[in-house]
Structure 1
Amino acid sequence: MTSPKPSKQDGLKPFIRLLRTTGIPKAALSFGIAGFLITTLVGLVIPLLTKELVDGFSLESLSPLLVAAIVAAFLIQTVIDGFSTYLLSYTGQKLVADLRGNMWRKLLRLPVSHFETEASGGTVSRVVNDTGIVKELISNHVPQFISGLISIIGAIILLLILDWQMTLVMLVSIPVTMALMIPLGRRMAKISRGMQDETAAFSGSIQQTISEIRLMKASNAEGEEEQKGMDGIRRLFNFGLREARINAIIGPLMGLIMWAVIAFIIVYGGVRVADGSMSTGTLVAFLLYLFQIVFPVTTFAMFFTQLQKAKGATERIIEILSLDPEPGQQGDTMDVSGLPITVESVSFSYQPGEPVLNSVSFRANPGEMIAFAGPSGGGKSTMFALLERFYEPENGTIRVGDTPISALSLENWRSQIGYVPQESAMMSGTIRDNLLYGIEQNEIPDEKLWKAADMAFASEFIKGFPQGMETEIGERGIRLSGGQRQRIAIARAFLRDPKILMMDEATASLDSHSEGVVQEALQRLMSGRTTFAIAHRLSTIVDADRIVFIEGGRVTGSGTHQELYETHPVYREYAEQQLI
């Protein structure tokens, strides 16, 4: 059961709980914040030293010790500030690395159904952008807020000691400033969260278009995609303008308040200096402390804005981390060689009330080839998905021997399955990378690699490339032909040495020459293995040990090609259309 999505009433609790799930380097964080506190305290001492220097200033009475103290204070502040900045940046980077690692591990173990309902670009934005917002808060805004708060408190205390009357007059500006900044900060937070959501949606749209660039160009859809992209860019632009308008108010407004207070202090302080009730050094110290109050106050609005953004990002991060992983991450291990696979009364639906499979039953004995045939949409691919455990049946069981496959660990079960799809999936990288994908590379010597390529009739074209196995094939194998991709997929299956083979019309999209070569490679691969095959062309399965004919989610016939031809009218119609 998934954890409830955090509500706005939860405040900072979800954010704090999320941080506790990471390996925050407590020493680096503590020393970093301590360094900021030291620099803040040193900064509070500087105006007092400046006061003494100004009040007693003359070339004859200039104290070398006082000058040295001021210079030392500045140097100490600079060194510790740099050291603290690094430690807090390290803390933020470590925190975001742990968060991204946790999210990546979770995403890899989520069921296929999650990715069929969620846009990949939005998910990427959560892993990259939302975690970056949390890092920014921890690395920059929290330390600035803490040091600013201490600076304000310390400066006000020292100002009250220096001249409480002028301090009280000056403090009137703080509630005025906060009254103006808080509503603007809330507005900024709302805009920022909207921009986060729009950025995620825009990233998803761009990623989808680029990943299907050939479809887009072949469909002459440049204009349509351009319009969609420009609409997304325009929405982001509008959010940026709204954010800029708030900043355009905050910056000048804070500047106006600051300079108004400074002007008042200079005028009022000048009068006090003139009548002798305040020294020049005190006025200078007053102005320096004023800066130590005003500047932190200006950062508070940004802190609260970033805090609201981080809370929104936290909700989305927690939403992913709280999702249930695929069932079966833990389970038994067993060798399925020589064991029959039994599907008994299996039913399944993607949407409630819309069954895709209904009480499907069949049995595959060791070494047999079981083929699925029937109209499109009948449930053949769904049966494959259940066998691979991308989904779990709603009713019924799938057993290997006497053991339900749900009792086996996913890793153990899938490690014994070889899958050759209709369109072989390729990862960006080299031919070697794709042959060894999912296999411990150190365990496979080159001799075994080339033997698998030979068995799949792939070695000839691989050797024809100047870089051989190290040839880069491009994203999704775009630099290879369909037949070459299929033969690499078959070679990959040979390397896995699967006990169970699954083929989804592996030659459907190939030309006649490539089909012949690939079909011969598949015959080699099927030898001695329990094989399941989806066929749209009956010519590829006429020799199957058993053909399971599925219509509307139900098995309406089962037997050899000849048996079905004689007893199943729909199958006979298919056969006469395709084979005669």
Structure 2
Amino acid sequence: MKENKTSNRSFLRLMKTTRLPKAAMSAGLAGFLITTLVSLAIPLLTRSLVDGFSVSSLSAPLIGAIAAAFILQAAISGVSNYLLSYSGQKVVAELRGRMWRKLLRLPVSHFDTEPSGGTVSRVVNDTGIVRELISDHVPQFVSGIISIIGAVTLLLIMDWKMTLVMLVSVPVTVIIMIPLGKRMAKISRGMQDETAAFSGSIQQTISEIRLMKASNAEADEEKKGVAGIGRLMQFGLREAKVVSLIGPLMNLVLMTVIVCIIVYGGVRVAGGSMSTGTLVAFLLYLFQIIMPVTSFAMFFTQLQKAKGATERIIHILGLEPEPGQTGISADVAGKPVTLDRVSFSYNPEEPVLNEVSFTANPGEMIAFAGPSGGGKSTLFALLERFYEPDSGRILIGDTPISRVSLENWRRQIGYVAQDSSMMSGTIRDNLLYGMDSTGRPEDDKLWLAAEMAYADGFIREFPDGLDTEIGERGIKLSGGQRQRIAIARAFLRDPLILMMDEATASLDSHSEAMVQDALSRLMAGRTTFAIAHRLSTIVDADKIVFIEGGRVTGIGKHQELLRTHPVYREYAEQQLV
């Protein structure tokens, strides 16, 4: 009970923080109120028509009133449905916008542990459940309450004895619907969680389709997918069982009450204590009472689903964004970058870096070398501020970079990875990715950057040039072409700090030569950090930082380390001889 109250408060709190279009929502609910009141008048008009029915006594005003009631009900109902759908769409759009903005500003560490498919499900499916509740089920619930109260009041005025006979069905219906509704809510929440997990698994498999096929893993993925589909089917069958119980049971109750009213009402009509029109009106009001009661089960089921979705939405909205969203602006030009006894671990019991210290002076090339798993990529992640050090400081000049705003810091960094990431879209889109739309360069600057990166040649060979679609993650381009576009993008950003993660490691000799020349142009006059798996690419570095087991075991130029560092000398003898 306590948990249910907490979830109710969470749901209401979320709704209060959402800019609900009150005018549209109020007008829509008012429309539903009007149509409900009109529907309550229709049985009374029908009674008058039936009781006085004869061809000669047909009243044009009465027929016109009934026709007008139907037309008015239809027109207002259409407008109300649109206004409530509009309200629901506005709410879900705002929730999705808030969640998307929050997700974009969460630290990388969040996505290290959260499956992407589950996150997508929260943004798309959970907010959709909230929309359905607001647009569909709340209006039906409100109109149902009004319809029941109005119908019962009118029936008591018309004939209280017959009303009591009919009202016997209400507690029977409630007794049936409450346990079934709770069961349906539990099944629905399980279905939500299983759908999120299944979506994440499918998304991961599709995104790594080449790895899957290259590994002959079709059978394994088929087995996993079929298992997930089977679990979803089981939830669907459990839901179908409840629905298959609700429908027949409600029909049984409805038909039993109808028969009882017809028999009892027929006796009353035959005895002259009730008119035929009153009996017809009773039957019409019966439907106006039973049908809303039936829909209440779906309302409470959807409410439970929405409360579950709300908990997950609130969880995302309550997460802390990356530290440093606000801060000072700092120009890194002419200032050294210093790591002062920096330590870091992804898990407290598994340290990755241990008191790493070095200084990169303006314009220097600093190369990181050492065994795999030593912490070189983690150093890059700390310099990019994907993570914050557990202890120690990273300084630009005398200023800790933690005081600099993330936007300002990252704007001054250019990153070229071993397998440069591309976004779906055109070459132009990828060159301009992340740049301010108000200050984007003209095509001549794009071509100049492409020329500096030795990318203009192959771009001009495409029929659409800069507007060539490159496919998901740039799959239509070769590795060398993707690297050169990444370098051209870095030229356009004109960064003061350049970071390279062995940008030529996976290229053929021809592409490597072109990319290396382009990188040499890009490095000129910039402070450069480079991860080196092949020492041949860093022999001319101003400093080589050798990292083993998260510790710096040597700093110096190539010739200096050859003399003083046995492990480096061993690496050099293996690779450079």
TM over 0.5: yes
Counterpart selection for 1:247 from 243, 249, 266: 243
3-state SS of the aligned residue for 1:293?
A: helix
Query: Which is worse superposed, 33-42 or 68-77?
Result: 68-77
Does structure 1 conserve the Cα–Cα contact (< 8 Å) formed by 2:165 and 2:261? no
Counterpart selection for 1:152 from 144, 148, 152: 148
In 2: Cα distance, 1:321 partner to 1:411 partner: 21
1:427 and 2:423 equivalent?
yes
Counterpart selection for 2:196 from 190, 200, 203: 200
1:225 CA drift (Å): 0.5
Q: Which residue of 2 aligns with 1:413?
A: 409
Counterpart selection for 1:115 from 97, 104, 111: 111
1:325 and 2:308 equivalent?
no
Identity over aligned pairs, percent: 76
1:176 and 2:172 equivalent?
yes
Q: Which residue of 2 aligns with 1:130?
A: 126
In 2: Cα distance, 1:63 partner to 1:366 partner: 97
- The AA in structure 2 aligned to 1:285 is A
Q: Which residue of 1 aligns with 2:375?
A: 379
What does 1:418-457 correspond to in 2, within 5 Å?
A: 418-441=414-437, 442-457=439-454
1:52 and 2:56 equivalent?
no
1:553 and 2:562 equivalent?
no
- The AA in structure 1 aligned to 2:414 is G
- The AA in structure 1 aligned to 2:393 is T
TM-superposition CA deviations, 1:409-429 (whole Å, max 9, x none)? 000000000000011000000
- The AA in structure 2 aligned to 1:556 is T
Counterpart selection for 2:522 from 506, 520, 525: 525
What does 1:389-538 correspond to in 2, within 5 Å?
A: 389-441=385-437, 442-538=439-535
Q: After the TM superposition, which segments of 4 or more aligned residues of structure 1 sit over 3 Å from their partners?
A: 6-9
Does structure 1 conserve the Cα–Cα contact (< 8 Å) formed by 2:544 and 2:556? yes
TM-superposition CA deviations, 1:470-516 (whole Å, max 9, x none)? 11100000000000000000000000000000000101111111111
1:279 and 2:275 equivalent?
yes
In 2: Cα distance, 1:255 partner to 1:59 partner: 36
Counterpart selection for 1:75 from 68, 71, 75: 71
In 1: Cα distance, 2:5 partner to 2:272 partner: 55
What does 1:57-68 correspond to in 2, within 5 Å?
A: 57-68=53-64
1:58 CA drift (Å): 1.8
1:331 CA drift (Å): 0.4
In 1: Cα distance, 2:115 partner to 2:440 partner: 36
TM-superposition CA deviations, 1:21-67 (whole Å, max 9, x none)? 22211000000000000000011111111111111112222221111
The alignment's C-alpha RMSD in Å is 0.9
Query: Which is worse superposed, 9-18 or 520-529?
Result: 9-18
TM-superposition CA deviations, 1:497-536 (whole Å, max 9, x none)? 0000000010111111111110010000000000000001
1:356 and 2:326 equivalent?
no
In 1: Cα distance, 2:255 partner to 2:334 partner: 86
- The AA in structure 2 aligned to 1:458 is A
1:224 and 2:199 equivalent?
no
In 2: Cα distance, 1:568 partner to 1:512 partner: 30
In 1: Cα distance, 2:349 partner to 2:233 partner: 43
Q: Which residue of 2 aligns with 1:3?
A: none
1:347 and 2:351 equivalent?
no
3-state SS of the aligned residue for 1:502?
A: strand
In 1: Cα distance, 2:227 partner to 2:468 partner: 39
1:172 CA drift (Å): 1.1
- The AA in structure 2 aligned to 1:244 is A
3-state SS of the aligned residue for 1:355?
A: strand
3-state SS of the aligned residue for 2:450?
A: helix
Q: Which residue of 2 aligns with 1:34?
A: 30
In 2: Cα distance, 1:459 partner to 1:134 partner: 50
In 2: Cα distance, 1:102 partner to 1:230 partner: 34
3-state SS of the aligned residue for 1:12?
A: helix
Counterpart selection for 1:256 from 249, 252, 259: 252
In 2: Cα distance, 1:448 partner to 1:61 partner: 87
- The AA in structure 2 aligned to 1:524 is R
- The AA in structure 2 aligned to 1:264 is C
- The AA in structure 1 aligned to 2:293 is V
Query: Which is worse superposed, 178-187 or 433-442?
Result: 433-442
TM-superposition CA deviations, 1:243-300 (whole Å, max 9, x none)? 0111000011111111110111111101100000101111011011001001111100
- The AA in structure 2 aligned to 1:69 is A
Counterpart selection for 1:306 from 282, 302, 309: 302
Counterpart selection for 1:567 from 561, 564, 573: 564
1:19 CA drift (Å): 1.5
TM-superposition CA deviations, 1:178-227 (whole Å, max 9, x none)? 11111001000100100100100010000000110110000000111111
1:540 and 2:534 equivalent?
no
In 2: Cα distance, 1:9 partner to 1:529 partner: 59
In 2: Cα distance, 1:115 partner to 1:490 partner: 27
TM-superposition CA deviations, 1:345-398 (whole Å, max 9, x none)? 000000012110000000000000000000000000000000000000010000
1:9 CA drift (Å): 3.6
3-state SS of the aligned residue for 1:492?
A: helix
1:577 CA drift (Å): 0.4
Return the TM-score normalized by structure 1. 0.98
In 2: Cα distance, 1:22 partner to 1:426 partner: 35
TM-superposition CA deviations, 1:408-449 (whole Å, max 9, x none)? 000000000000001100000000000110012452110100
In 1: Cα distance, 2:352 partner to 2:5 partner: 42
Does structure 1 conserve the Cα–Cα contact (< 8 Å) formed by 2:432 and 2:440? no
TM-superposition CA deviations, 1:321-366 (whole Å, max 9, x none)? 0000000000001211111111000000000121100000000000
1:8 CA drift (Å): 3.6
1:7 CA drift (Å): 4.6
In 2: Cα distance, 1:479 partner to 1:116 partner: 28
Name stretches of at least 5 consecutive residues in structure 1 with no aligned partner: 1-5
3-state SS of the aligned residue for 2:13?
A: helix
TM-superposition CA deviations, 1:86-115 (whole Å, max 9, x none)? 000000011000000000000000000001
- The AA in structure 2 aligned to 1:302 is M
In 2: Cα distance, 1:470 partner to 1:434 partner: 10
1:68 CA drift (Å): 1.1
- The AA in structure 1 aligned to 2:453 is A
3-state SS of the aligned residue for 2:322?
A: coil
Counterpart selection for 1:15 from 11, 14, 20: 11
